[in-house]
Amino acid sequence: MAARMSNPIAAIILAAGKGTRMKSDLHKVLHPIAGRPMLLHLMASFSTLPPAKTVVVVGDKRDQVEAAVAGTGALVAVQDPQLGTAHAALQAKDALAGFDGVVLVCFGDCPMLTAETIRRLCAPLETGALVAVLGFRPRDTAAYGRIIADADGNVSKMVEHKDASPEERAVDLCNSGVIVAAAQDMWRLLEAVGNDNAAGEYYLPDVATGAIAEGKRVAVVETDAAEVAGINSRAELAAAEAQWQAFKREEAMAGGASLRAPETVWFSWDTELGRDVTIEPNVFFGPGVTIADNVKIRANSHIEGATIGAGCEVGPFARLRPGTVLGEKAKVGNFVETKKAVLGEGAKANHLTYLGDVSVGAGANIGAGTITCNYDGYFKYKTEIGERAFIGSNSALVAPVKIGADAIVAAGSAVTRDVADGELRIVRGEQLMKPGWADRFHDAMRKKKAAEKK
């Protein structure tokens, strides 16, 4: 783990904007990447600093954001009306009253920002800089504000694209908007920001401009453009998802997993993989999946909320839903769906089966087409299958029901009562045999069809 910062830090995360380009009823910063809201990605990435306090500034759809950060320890400040980014940051002052350390201002729609970058950004404050800003060099500078700085990273000017001269627009060092300063300096500079501009808003970069006007040193620290790319549209959200997934795939393979077609495997933010795990193409992991060593996940499987023990095999075309737990060397095969299903060591369900609200003992075998009938339209009920039990194909186990150890349920049975240990249960109608009936039927039908053609 990286060392903690020498001075305490407070993080102000701006999340008050409307995010109109998303065209969504969901607040922009709550749109998920790998199943986790981008705002919570950002907050989690700061956990190794860690901030002494975190303040999330809310405005539009504030109830959604407040609900999302409830329980995280973050404080909430409200920006109303919304008069620009400097005005938004200033709304956190009361929440940080008495805080004596470094104040970071960043954006809730930049989930890739890392704690290590924040540490680097804060370093110039310890060598005399009053303010430090985070810069990047994108492929397309588009309409980004520019940072004019010397080779040593000393900033002489911050300029918005629309106000920049042709020479300044030729500079490719752009402003991410992320900024740090000591608390007393940050509040003083924020309060001095004016709104003499076309939009009549108070802009955060003017904190740096104000420090420069005082003759104080402002430093720029550079980072990769991908780390500070804001997400303002569905297309940018998709690009961020692809970026995150690419990183996770590389991390998984570096950790000892084999991905047969990496670009087709989709991880959740919290997926945990053991060593020597093999993942075939077109596998999707939802939240809450933990996989032990030497597991094989075959193609086209969908897994969420599941714990998979060492040596298991899953799929192809398997769906493991929340509450699934597979013991060591258990096997869930093609077109098998599980939900709140606990399979013991070596248990097998190889084909075309639904296992819901069930415990399956070690070594049990579930035949093709078996279903646990766990819902009566009002309540869910549990099925218990003992160790080494054998459930014949096309059986229906009507819960609540218990199948004993070493019991056998004959194929095609509909079991509604408990089966004792070692018992054979057959629940099906008696077979009737009518020799020659089919031949007589076919002859009669052929004659009838021929007669209709005349």
In angstroms, the CA 220 to CA 131 distance is: 9
Strand 331-343 to 319-320 pairing: parallel
Q: Among the residues of 286-356, which ranges form H helices?
A: none
Length of the chain: 454
Reported for 269-275, long-range contacts at CB under 8 A and 24+ positions apart, including other chains, are 269/33, 269/34, 269/35, 269/36, 269/41, 270/35, 270/36, 274/310
- Stretch (H or E) spanning 177: strand 174-182
What tokens appear for 197 in the block?
Answer: 């501009």
CA nearest neighbour of 91 among 65, 58, 126:
58
Options 41, 87, 351, 442, the catalytic residue = 351
**Cβ contacts of 37 within 8 Å, gap of 6 or more:** 29, 30, 31, 68
**Cβ contacts of 247 within 8 Å, gap of 6 or more:** none
In angstroms, the CA 111 to CA 13 distance is: 11
What tokens appear for 387 in the block?
Answer: 């160790």
The number of CA neighbours under 13 Å toward the Cβ of 232 is 8
3-state SS assignment for residue 445 = helix
Tell me if residue 442 is catalytic: no
Which residues make beta-bridge pairs with 133? 179, 220
How far from chain centre, in Å, is Cα 187?
A: 35
E-strand ranges in 25-124 read: 32-33, 36-37, 53-58, 75-78, 102-107
What tokens appear for 452 in the block?
Answer: 């209709």
Q: Omega into 400 within 30° of 0, i.e. cis? A: yes
Active site residues: 351
